[in-house]
Structure 1
Amino acid sequence: MTSSSPVSPITEDDIAHFLANTPGFFERHAELLASVTIASPHGQRAVSLHERQAEMLREKIKGLEHRVMEMVRHGTENAAITQKIHQWTREVAAVRDAARLPRAVENGLRTLFDVPQVALRVWNVAPEHAGLVATQPVSEDLRLFASSLTMPFCGPNLGFEATAWLPEAGEVQSLALLPLREGAIDSADQPAFGLIVLGSHDPHRFEATMGTEFLSRMAELASSALSRMR
């Protein structure tokens, strides 16, 4: 006498697999769609499968609407920033006296982009620019640090040497450090010839997780302008 092997019980996965692979099932048993009820996520009442599908569709549409609104908002903000960068670039490019470039770069960043505190230093400049505030000596460690940056640094004020350049350094809670170098900001083989410091009393103004695409472009534009001082 041979014993028959036990039959495995049908699982929910088996049923789901069957329905997914048998599209004609509900065509042959259309009455089930009207009779099946499930719990509504918006209360204790039971709703039909059709109603639940409609609710899910409405929720999906609402989620897509929020995403579209967010995309429009970001697009508007990016367009405004792009316009400010264009204006700032135009103003800096109009400066004929190279000695006035550091002030023009700083003022544009401060006024157009609402950055409370801005300062910069450039080194290895032509002798005629040696007496400017922006060309005051900096340590070799800071030069090496600036050269190590291949993208803007954004984060809390950790007591960087460059923070001391800011007029009210003690109030700075977050900052951005933009290296100045010939060519692209990520050209690691090119040593930095300067550094821009953006400081804010708001600890969330410059965060490590923020995007730095615009800051990178601004650093490259400032580098192109300030390279005239070398």
Structure 2
Amino acid sequence: MNDREVAEYLLANPEFFVQHAELLAAVRLANPHGKAAVSLQERQMEMLREKNKLLERRLAELLRYGHENDSIAAKFNRWTARVIAERDPHALPRTVTYGLTEVFDVPHAALRLWDVADVYAQAEFARQVGEEVRIFANSLGAPYCGANTGFEAAQWLGAGAQPSAPASAEEAGTAAGEAGGIQSVVLLALRDPQADESAPAFGLLVMGSPDPRRFHEGMATDFLMQIGTLASAATSRLLAR
């Protein structure tokens, strides 16, 4: 019999060790930790302990993820409350981005809208964007998370970004310098939340960080999608009808 046949026989006949209980202590196995040989029973117990340790680590990891999600959910509720409570339409985009930087500790955030009502045409958030930005926003069916590869939207983080809304020329220069160091970004297309993903976007929300690991391709996007949906619903009232 070869090894496979022996293993199949023992699996199919578990009563073998009942009938030959003396083998449980007689069979000596090499200890993987370099100690003296151990019995089959001792080896089984050791394997169970190792399995339990693995399960305990996995449980601790799941608990950590649960606590992190609870924390993010609480922050999302705080940010949502701020956005809903904002009554001044002109201040709404600032409330959206400032809330992200303050509540979620995002280093920089900014947004631009197009096709807005005439009353908002001169606002910072309605500044002209290139056609490539609009095309890119229309192509986003899900949040983009990853490296800043020279996105035009990342340049918005130097002007009108939060928290660095410059009050002086010196502060403006500092903000522009910081924006030049944006290494990772999140890009969220703003579109009618009641429409499907193929609907044209009416804006783009960008978050950036000088830390290249802050926003990465493998990060979860569930909360980011919720942020995009709520920001879209809130700012849609600024559009021309």
TM-score normalised according to structure 2 size: 0.89
| Among 208, 214, 218, the residue aligned to 2:227 | 218
CA radius of gyration, larger in: 1
- Tell me which amino acid in the other structure corresponds to 2:226: R
Measure the CA separation in 1 of the matches of 2:225 and 2:194: 9
Identify the residue that residue 210 of structure 2 maps to in structure 1: 201
Deviates more, 1:195-204 or 1:165-174: 165-174
Runs of 4+ in 1 over 2 A off after TM superposition: none
CA distance in 2, matches of 1:176, 1:132: 23
Q: Deviations over 1:45-65 (max 9, x none)?
A: 211111111111111111111
How much identity, in percent, do the aligned residues show?
Answer: 50
Kept after mapping to 2: 8 A contact 1:184/1:220:
no
Counterpart CA distance in 2 for 1:218 and 1:49 is 56
CA shift, 1:17, in A, is 1.1
User: Which of 76, 94, 97 is the matching residue for 1:106?
Assistant: 97
Q: Which runs of 5+ in 1 are unaligned?
A: 1-9
In the TM superposition, residue 21 of structure 1 has moved relative to its aligned partner by 1.1
Partner of 2:172: none
Q: CA deviation at 1:23?
A: 1.8
Unaligned segments of structure 2, at least 5 residues: 159-177
Query: Which of 186, 200, 206 matches 1:176?
Result: 186
Aligned partner of 2:85 in structure 1 is: 94
Q: Does the 8 Å CA contact 1:182/1:223 hold for their aligned counterparts?
A: yes
Using the alignment, how far apart are the partners of 1:43 and 1:227 within structure 2?
A: 68
Deviations 1:78-112 (A, max 9, x none): 01110111111111111111111110001000011
Q: How many residues end up aligned between the 2 structures?
A: 220
Using the alignment, how far apart are the partners of 2:89 and 2:201 within structure 1? Answer: 19
- Check the 8 A contact 1:34/1:48 in 2, yes or no: yes
Q: 1:26 — aligned with what?
A: 17
Please give the root-mean-square deviation of Cα atoms over the aligned residues, in Å.
1.2
Correspondence for 2:62 among 61, 71, 79: 71
